[in-house]
Each structure stands twice: as C-alpha cells, then as structure tokens.
C-alpha cells in the first residue's frame, strides 16, 4: 500500500489539521493500492493565507525569473516521467504505453515558457499605459481523466503570470497530484507559491471556491460540478474559468474519405477509454453512406487490446471507477432499449477480464438525435452514429446540444467544408483530423464552459488589466512591473 500522508502548504509537507485519509482503488484490480491524506476547510485557510503572503513578492518577479523557474520544473518533471506513468496506470487505469499522458505535460510547460518569453505585459493606448498584472491567489481544481496534464497546465500558466496557487486534484488522482507537488518542491518553487490540499469537492473544493483570499478559480470537470463552483465563487465575485462537459460531433461530408474518417473517429473517440471531454462521441454521416462506413468503424474498434494498463501491449485500460463503470453500462443499455443498433461491443464483459472496470469499445448505429446516447455525455468508449439528410440537417443536429466544446469535419475535394466549420458552435473545430496546437486556446461554447486555457489566451486568464493615465510623455518611463 503506497502512503501519501501529507498535504503541501507554505513550502512544507504537513499533516492535515484532522487525521483523515482516503484509500485509492486500482480500477484494474478493484482493490485499494494507496492511502492519501485529505484536508478540510481549515487546511484551505492555511493554504490561502500562505499563498496570499507569497503573492506579495512572487507577483513582482521578472519574466526571466519565472522562465528560469519553469525550466527547473520541466527538468525535475522529466526525471519523474516513468514514476508518473506507473502511478496513473494504478490510480485511473491509463496504459503505460499512452505516453501522451506523461509527455504532454512537459510539452505544455515548454509552450508556456515560450508564451511568457514573448508576451507583452504592457502596451500603450494614446498617452495611457495598459498593464496586465497577476490576478492574485488562484484555486485550481483538476479532473482525473487527464490527471497530470490538466493540473500542470493550470499551475504552470498561473505561475507564468506571477500568481500563487492552491491546487486540488481529483480524489481519484490524488496520488499523481501529490507527486507533482513533490516535483515543484524539488524545483525550488518558493514557499507559499504552490500549495496542495487534497480533499473532497464538497468540502475542500467548495471552500476554495468561496474563500475570500482567493481571487480566481479554474475548474475542469462535469458541467453539473462547474455550476456549483460558479455559484460558490459568485459570493465573493471572483473570476471563474470553467472547462466542462462535451458531446462533440464529427460531421462526415458525403465525399469524405470514409475509411479515414471512420478509423480516425474511433481512435480519437476511444482514446483514454473514451474518457475525454473532446471525444467525437457523435459521428454524423450522410444517410446514403451509413452502410459503407460502419464496417470500417467496427474493424477499427476491434483493434483495441484491453488489459492491465501496466503492460506495454495494452491499448485500452479500465474506466476509472465502479461508479463510472455503472454509468457507462446504464447508458449503453439505454441505447439498446431505445432502439439503436449495436454494431459492436455492448454489455458483455470482455473475454478474460472478469475483474476490473473494463468496457468493450462500443458502436451504435441507427441513432436518432433524441436518444439518450445522442444527448448525454457518456465519458466512455461509446460512439453514436447518426444519419443526416443534408448540410442544414447536419448543422442542426450537431448544434442541438447544450455543449459546445469540440467539433470535427471530414470532407473531400468536391464539397466546400467552410459552411459546416463556421456553423459549428464549438470552441475548437478540426478539419480532416488536423491535430490541435498547444499555442492555441482551448475552451467551449454554451454549457461547455467559460474562459480559455493554453497559449496566450490561457495566460491571460490569470491576469488583471490596469489602465494608467496622467503621465503623458512620461508614461514610458514608469517602472515596469515585469521588467
């Protein structure tokens, strides 16, 4: 049993104010593998006070100083990469062969360092100076599906801006969150600049969101939980950045390469066992092409090798928890009960995997837009194939969702994709499987969230704007906060 008995507050590993811990369950073995200390509202008070004290000095550090700090964090993080890989396989079932989950955080930190180097914190408008300054103490609440990367992106852009941090990883990913705190400690992050308080959303997350010493909250998780964070933060009128649920559509135009579109959709949708908010979980195909595309979908879905995520040959591990397993299975059953056609997968336990929260890669056809599996975020390896009549029908179906996180379009040389691309109400749209870029912003429309992360726009989430008047020609001689 791995032991993580401490929180990290004011540069020290400390015991929580009350002696409490939680056992983390290995989703492959359905058995405890670690104990993690959890905090209370009192621990949040201590962390907030430490972060407020540290902000006074850290907010005035130079760009060069913060770039050097990020560089040290990158070096230490990379030295722990294999440890992170093993740990997230145990805590959330991510295969060790999925190196994107481990290499991605280092890449994002390198991008943040480059963005910081080139960012103009001060500009002129007429005789005035417009200055962007760190917003203050930031409460950062991250999810379990990208257990390291999402938390790293939040922390590194907050530090790049000159903010101080209280972090709360998901309870399912509290072990890797604690390991990242160790990385920051080894990298020499000044005391109080980063603080870790593991705990429940109901107590620790809510206290962080309401805390009068916290200036900004960044949350990634479900839309339901995001509503609670936003409501709690409203009491003190603090800034809120939310990345929430998704039910992204992939519109496949009639002249698209159907095999390419099908295989890409399966790999993108079922990556991370389907536990990705940007998953193209709805595939919209012209009604005349359904029979042609389904064999490619089924064939690609059957290429996944389910098994122990600690084995390098595994390409799909279990889903994260018993609750998630039940939720996914209930939604698969709803698809069957509501008349969708099961092309592959379903409710049967995968061969040889009687223990563990394993879900078969599942493809439904004959799905109508009103079905539950077409509307609810399943967050598992389940794809709904929906026919459409024409472009107007495709756009109507794609946008008929409370979510607007991602969008995808596949087309060929005979059609103009711009109408569909421009018409999708989503924060990110990819054409013909084009990869995303970490310098560009990520975020959603509608109930998929508020604000953006990554790149210049992500940095600005952690900055306030100040206009300075009255100095005329002397304005350029004002002391620069970020010299």
Distances (CA, A) of 304 to 188, 277, 324, 361: 42, 20, 20, 8
pLDDT tens track for 57-67: 999 999 999 99
Domain extents for the chain?
Answer: 2-244+448-477, 249-431
The mean predicted confidence, pLDDT, of the chain is: 96
pLDDT tens track for 447-482: 999 999 999 999 999 999 999 998 766 655 555 544
Percent of the chain with pLDDT over 90: 95
What is the reported pLDDT for 476?
A: 56
Q: How many CB atoms lie within 10 A of CB 380?
A: 25
**C-alpha 72 chain-centroid distance:** 24
Mean pLDDT, rounded, for 279-304: 98
pLDDT tens track for 204-230: 999 999 999 999 999 999 999 999 999
Q: Tokens 């709805």 map to which residue? A: 282
Mean pLDDT, rounded, for 305-327: 98
Q: How many CB atoms lie within 10 A of CB 296?
A: 17
Mean pLDDT, rounded, for 311-320: 98
Q: Kind of pairing, strands 137-141 and 216-220?
A: parallel
What is the reported pLDDT for 478?
A: 55
Class of domain 2-244+448-477: alpha beta
What is the reported pLDDT for 127?
A: 86
What is the reported pLDDT for 482?
A: 44
What is the reported pLDDT for 483?
A: 39
What is the reported pLDDT for 477?
A: 55
Give helix then strand counts, H and E, for the chain. Answer: 15, 23
Q: What sign results for the dihedral spanned by CA atoms 397, 299, 277, 419?
A: negative
Q: Tokens 């969101």 map to which residue? A: 209
The string of DSSP codes covering 25-49 is EETTTTEEEEEEE---HHHHHHHHH
Q: Kind of pairing, strands 249-252 and 406-410?
A: parallel
Q: Which of 91, 122, 133, 243 does the annotation list as catalytic? A: 243
pLDDT tens track for 40-88: 999 999 999 999 999 999 999 999 999 999 999 999 999 999 999 999 9
What is the reported pLDDT for 338?
A: 98
Is a pLDDT exceeding 50 seen at residue 26? yes
**Considering only CA atoms, which of 48, 66, 53, 224 is closest in space to residue 140?**
48
Token code pair at residue 40: 């209370």
Superfamily of structural domain 249-431: Aldehyde Dehydrogenase; Chain A, domain 2 (3.40.309.10)
User: Is there a catalytic annotation at residue 269?
Assistant: no
What is the reported pLDDT for 472?
A: 63
CA distance 465 to 473: 21
User: Is there a catalytic annotation at residue 18?
Assistant: no
Q: What sign results for the dihedral spanned by CA atoms 312, 316, 322, 323?
A: positive
**Considering only CA atoms, which of 144, 266, 138 is closest in space to residue 201?**
144
- 75, containing H or E segment: helix 63-79
Mean pLDDT, rounded, for 355-382: 98
Q: Which of 91, 277, 300, 460 does the annotation list as catalytic? A: 277
Is a pLDDT exceeding 90 seen at residue 284? yes
């Amino acid at each position: 049993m791995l032991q993580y008995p401490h929180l990290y507050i004011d540069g020290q590993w400390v015991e929580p104010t009350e002696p409490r811990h939680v056992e983390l369950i290995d989703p492959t073995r359905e058995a405890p593998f670690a104990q993690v200390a959890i905090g209370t509202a009192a621990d949040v008070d201590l962390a907030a006070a430490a972060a407020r004290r540290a902000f006074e000095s850290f907010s005035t550090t130079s760009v060069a100083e913060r770039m050097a700090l990020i560089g040290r964090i990158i070096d230490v993080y990379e030295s722990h990469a294999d440890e992170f890989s093993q740990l997230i396989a145990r805590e959330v079932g991510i295969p060790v062969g999925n190196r994107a989950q481990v290499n991605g955080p280092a890449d994002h930190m390198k991008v943040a360092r480059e963005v910081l180097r080139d960012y103009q914190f001060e500009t002129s408008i007429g005789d005035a100076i417009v200055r962007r300054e760190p917003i203050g103490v930031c409460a950062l609440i991250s999810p379990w599906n990208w257990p390291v990367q999402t938390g790293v992106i939040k922390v590194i852009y907050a530090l790049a801006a000159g903010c101080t941090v209280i972090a709360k990883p998901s309870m399912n990913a509290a072990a890797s969150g604690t390991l990242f705190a160790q990385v920051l400690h080894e990298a020499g992050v000044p005391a109080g600049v980063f603080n870790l308080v593991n705990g429940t959303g109901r107590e620790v997350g809510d206290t962080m969101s309401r805390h009068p010493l916290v200036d900004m909250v960044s949350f990634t998780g479900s839309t339901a939980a995001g509503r609670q964070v936003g409501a709690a933060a409203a009491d003190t009128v603090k800034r809120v950045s939310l990345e929430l649920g998704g039910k992204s559509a992939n519109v496949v135009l009639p002249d698209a390469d159907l095999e390419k579109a099908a295989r890409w959709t399966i790999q993108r949708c079922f990556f991370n066992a389907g536990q990705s908010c940007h998953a193209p979980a709805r595939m919209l195909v012209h009604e005349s092409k359904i029979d042609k595309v389904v064999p490619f979908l089924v064939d690609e879905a059957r290429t996944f090798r389910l098994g122990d995520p600690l084995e390098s040959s595994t390409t799909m591990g279990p889903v994260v928890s018993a609750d998630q397993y039940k939720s996914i299975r209930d939604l698969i059953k709803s698809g069957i009960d509501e008349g969708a056609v099961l092309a592959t997968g379903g409710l049967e336990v995968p061969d040889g995997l009687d223990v563990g929260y394993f879900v078969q890669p599942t493809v439904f056809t004959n799905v109508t837009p009103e079905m539950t599996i077409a509307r609810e975020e399943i967050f598992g390896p389940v794809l709904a194939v929906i026919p459409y009549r024409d472009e107007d029908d495709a756009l109507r179906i794609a946008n008929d969702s409370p979510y607007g996180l991602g969008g995808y379009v596949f087309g060929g040389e005979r059609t103009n994709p711009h109408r569909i691309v421009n018409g999708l109400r989503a924060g990110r749209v990819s054409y013909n499987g084009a990869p995303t870029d970490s310098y560009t912003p990520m975020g959603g429309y509608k109930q998929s969230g508020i604000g953006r992360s990554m790149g210049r726009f992500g940095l600005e989430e952690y900055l306030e704007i100040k206009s300075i008047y009255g100095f005329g020609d002397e304005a350029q001689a004002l002391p620069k906060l970020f010299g």
